[in-house]
Amino acid sequence: MKINMKTQILHPGDEKKASDILKSGGIVALPTETVYGLGADGLNESAIKKIFVAKGRPSDNPLILHIAEPEDLSNLVLEVPKKAQVLIDNFWPGPLTIILKKTDIVPKAVSGGLDTVAVRCPSNEAIKKVIKHLKRPIAAPSANLSGKPSPTKFSHVLHDLDGKIDAILDGGDCEIGLESTVIAFNEELPRILRPGKITKEQIEDLIGDVILDPAVMGKIKSGQKIMSPGMKYKHYAPKAKVIVIKSNSEKYIDYVNKNSSENTLSLCFDEDKKYIKGKCISYGKESDDISQANLFFDALRKIDTLDEVNLVFARCPRREGVGLAVYNRLIRSSGFEVITL
Ligand code: TXA
Ligand code: MG
């Protein structure tokens, strides 16, 4: 693969151009409602391999196939269990990825050698148009360098991948800001592998009990079975060390004010900001976890621009609803360093 290739910038209306690049085996970053994805023709093994090179992604970490219509699922999977169909009927198109047993059409480069495939039907109109022009599924992980925060803005993608990919379709800021909820249907009980905007509570209301994979809430213990290869890799880490502070607002403010220095930063909520003496960046309102989801990755990237900051005290979100998804990303960005006050 060429290093320092010219990355074309595409705009709304250029969806056909984007799909032509994919058709000829290129890779293009595309907006979705969750985060930007780095797309390739999902049935073209050699195009898919370019994604792994551009991101520096381990080749055993499988990709999500994106389809334009729920009906396009049937070619890719052996069967759709009833409960999976209920979720599809309720949440597609939208931020939900479903893992099912794959058919032979799905290339090994997508499934990472597993017998399953992850599929999502996004609601974002731009990527939908590109898939429709291509007439094939698009394989796409998040369009960041491996290990870095997922990109929620055009500028994030440009920062990480300019010169490494064929094109970026600028779709403005992503509506949700955290990646999709991932749920697997290859055991008796459905299992949430990654929480997102579609919450465990919403899912259980429709299909009853589901398992929350232990890797969602903490570090995988050695010897523990890994259900999603992505969970074993370092994720979302800014350059500075992040410590998650589990406490109420009062204790958090007291702690950061006592421990702040030139080189520290508080990653807090809007409500905390006026009481904090040192440097701080807020990532949404304490009372509104959708706002936290929206701002979290951008906040991590802002921290990376502050060279003097080497330690971040992050306020812990609630661990329910969409807050659980924010918590899941935050503890990964900290390498599971948590202090409870
Ligand atoms: O919102 C999203 O899901 C975004 C946008 C671009 O669609 N995509 C995304 O892809 O977040 P990625 O590759 O960054 O994360 C997909 C996760 C990874 O942790 C991967 O290991 C897991 O899903 N995954 C994919 N296929 C799997 C499979 N067959 N079995 C288990 N885990 C799988
Ligand atoms: Mg990712």
Q: What confidence tens digit (pLDDT) does each residue in 92-144 have?
A: 999 999 999 999 999 999 999 999 999 999 999 999 999 999 999 999 999 99
User: Average pLDDT of 182-195?
Assistant: 95
Mean of pLDDT over the chain: 95
- Predicted pLDDT of residue 59: 85
- Predicted pLDDT of residue 304: 93
Q: How far is the CA of 141 from the centre of ligand 2 (A)?
A: 6
Euclidean distance between CA atoms 48 and 216, whole angstroms: 27
How far is CA 118 from each of CA 92, 99, 111, 140, rounded to the nearest angstrom?
14, 4, 8, 11
pLDDT for residue 19 is more than 80: yes
- Predicted pLDDT of residue 105: 97
Atom number of ligand 1 nearest to Cα 227: 31
Q: Can you give the pTM of this predicted structure?
A: 0.96
- Would you give the distance in Å from CA 194 to the centre of its chain? 9
Q: Give the model confidence (pLDDT) of 141-187 as tens digits.
A: 999 999 899 999 999 999 999 999 999 999 999 999 999 999 999 88
How far is CA 246 from each of CA 42, 251, 254, 264, 318, rounded to the nearest angstrom?
41, 9, 13, 17, 9
CB 122 within 8 A of CB 128: yes
Length of the chain: 341
Q: How far is the CA of 220 from the centre of ligand 1 (A)?
A: 18
Atom number of ligand 1 nearest to Cα 61: 21
- Predicted pLDDT of residue 224: 72
Q: Which domains does the chain have, with CATH numbers?
A: 8-216 (3.90.870.10), 241-340 (3.40.50.11030)
Atom number of ligand 1 nearest to Cα 120: 7
Q: How far is the CA of 35 from the centre of ligand 2 (A)?
A: 9
pLDDT for residue 76 is more than 80: yes
- Ligand 1 neighbourhood includes 116 CB (under 6 angstroms): yes
Ligand 1 binding pocket mutation candidate from 76, 168, 179, 211 (most atoms within 8 A of CB): 179
Residue with the nearest Cα to atom 30 of ligand 1?
Answer: 228
Q: Give the model confidence (pLDDT) of 89-100 as tens digits.
A: 999 999 999 999
Closest by Cα among 128, 177, 131 to 156: 177
Q: How far apart are the first and last CA of the chain?
A: 50
Q: How far is the CA of 9 from the centre of ligand 2 (A)?
A: 22
Residue with the nearest Cα to atom 13 of ligand 1?
Answer: 141
Q: Give the model confidence (pLDDT) of 237-291 as tens digits.
A: 889 999 999 999 999 999 999 999 999 999 999 999 999 999 999 999 999 999 9
Which of the pair, 219 or 90, is modelled with greater confidence?
90
- Predicted pLDDT of residue 284: 97
Which of the pair, 219 or 2, is modelled with greater confidence?
219
